[in-house]
Structure formats: C-alpha cells, structure tokens
Structure 1
Amino acid sequence: MSLLKSLILVLIGRNAKSYLSKAKELSDGEIADKVIKSKDSQLFGILYDRYSNKVYNKCYSFVKNSDEAKDLTQDIFLKVFLKLHLFNSSKASFSTWLYVLAYNFCTNYVNRDKKKKYM
C-alpha cells in the first residue's frame, strides 16, 4: 500500500472518530434527527450504546431467558432503525418512544408465543 493511501486511511479514521466523539455530546433527539437525515449507522450506534442494556433488561423481564432477550433486543433496535423516521422529538423524548416500542414489541412477542403453545 502506498504511503499516500495509508495516510488517507488514517485521516479518514481520525475524522470519523472526531465526528463520533462530537456526536456523543448531542442529545438523543439531535442524534435521532441526524440519523433520520443521513441513515448513518455509526451515529445510530451511539443510541444503541446508550440504551441497549435498558432494552435488554426490559426484554429479559418478559422472557426470563438471556439468549431470547438478546435476540429481542437486536430485533427491537433493527425496528427502531427502520422506523426512526416516525420519531417526533416535539411529541416525546427518544427514550420514551424507544421504551414504548420495546414494551409493545415484547408484549406482542410473548402473546404470539403463548398462542403457539396452545395450538
């Protein structure tokens, strides 16, 4: 690899790190707005880092199984990423919107699971 190419890769990496460190200082709503506009998965990762443990704990309280709770957490954050354009920071905080979505997702999951067991 050429020296120039190596230097470019280093600078891109530094800019990305600087960009993300500045983004970590933003509010949840500001990050959500930026993700909506840019579909930037690295920015979305900041929201994931902030809330994944809380969402996992909520999921675990429903299913009482660690692996299942991890799967549900991933499913919820995928849904959040896909539905983030529906989030309106003037109506609710991001955390409230996320927790409602997580609660409803887990409730629906448990109810579907119960129906499968009785069939």
Structure 2
Amino acid sequence: MVENNDAQLYERLSSKDRQAFETLYSRYEKLLFSFAYKVTKDRGMAEEVLQDVFVKLWNGTNTFDSSKGKFSSWLLTITRNKAIDMIRKHARHEHYELQDKDALVSGEKPVDKEVEWREDREMIRQAVSELNSDQQKVIDLFYFKGFSQQKISEKCGVPLGTVKGRIRLALKHLKQTMEKGGRSDYEA
C-alpha cells in the first residue's frame, strides 16, 4: 500500500503540500543518497544529487505517471540520470584541475600555466576554425557541450559510425595543426 500512498503524496506535491514533501523525503532520503553514492563514489556529489532530485520533485520539473511504473523506480531513475550528469560535469573540469596540480608539484607557477594555456587556446581555436563545418559541429558537441557520440548521431541525423569518423579525422587534423605550431605534446 506504500506505493499507492507515494502516488497520493506526489499528487499533493503539485499543490506544494509541505507535509507530503517531508514524508516523501524522509521515506526516500537514505535510499536515494545510497544509490547516488554508489553511482558517483563521492559523498559530496551524492549529497548534491540528492538535493537536486528533491528540488526537481518539489518544483514539479519531472512528471510521474503511475501507468508507467512504480514511484520508487521513477525516483531512482531520476537519481541515476542526475548522478551521471554530475559525473560528466565533474569529469570535464577534472582535466584542468589536474593540470593545476601538476604545475604545483613540478614547481611551475600557475601564472606560467595560464599564459601557456592562453597561447594553446588561441592555437586550438585557429585549428578548429580550419576544420570543415561537419567536423566543427561534432567537436563542439562532443568536447565543449559534453554530448555522447550516440546523442550527436541522433541530433545531427547521421549514423554513429559517421560521427566517430568525423571526430577521429578532426582530432587527427587538430593534432597535426598543433604539431606544426610547435606543440608536439598533444595526443589524438
């Protein structure tokens, strides 16, 4: 009978019933946190995921449909998706954080790294502008917007193999351009 009760509590949330929200929170807080922690393997990220899920629940951002399954399964799916998004978001920034840590360990001043990065960024910008428009689009979607290759395929209406080929050719071109510019430490 809990599942039916969950659906009723969810319905009450649409009218911003604080008691219904608190009941659902106390019922699912530990489960969702444990699940988010299992996915992210990071306590801070798991807490952020939990908060985001319940904010979405309160704001009615996602809509539960009892004909499509159980409330708890729906809530776990939202949690899983948010955890994966969080991991992707942090992975994009991790590369830059590692560069900063490497600079501190090697004794280089962060200012030196910043100047070098600005020079590289301009070289990368120039190299990307030399790509054909299809390659520019997949590089933008994949590296700068974080789309998966499958999502790019769907968004652009081209086969997955074509997306992979465009990324591979674009990276090859970028590597060659960077090497010509005196940067031989880039991997494609």
Aligned to 1:34: 12
- Deviation sequence 1:5-56 (CA, Å, 0-9, x none): xxxxxxxxxxxxxxxxxxx9x61011111222x2112211111111110110
> Percent sequence identity over matched residues?
28
Distance apart, 1:84 and its partner CA:
5.8
* Structure 1 ranges of 4+ moved more than 6 A: none
Write the mapping of 1:4-83 to structure 2, written as runs, cut at 5 A.
27-36=5-14, 38-83=15-60
TM-score normalized by structure 2? 0.45
Instruction: Count matched residues.
Output: 94
Letter in 1 for 2:45: E
Larger Rg: 2
Distance apart, 1:93 and its partner CA:
1.5
2: CA distance between counterparts of 1:63 and 1:93? Answer: 24
2: CA distance between counterparts of 1:57 and 1:44? Answer: 19
Q: For CA contacts below 8 A with separation 6 or more, give which structure has more relative contact order.
A: 1
TM-score normalized by structure 1? 0.69
- Does structure 2 conserve the Cα–Cα contact (< 8 Å) formed by 1:32 and 1:84? no
Runs of 5+ consecutive residues of structure 1 not aligned to the other structure: 1-23
**Root mean square deviation of aligned Cα:** 2.0
1: CA distance between counterparts of 2:84 and 2:67? Answer: 26
2: CA distance between counterparts of 1:110 and 1:85? Answer: 21
| Residue range with higher mean Cα deviation, 83-92 or 101-110 | 83-92
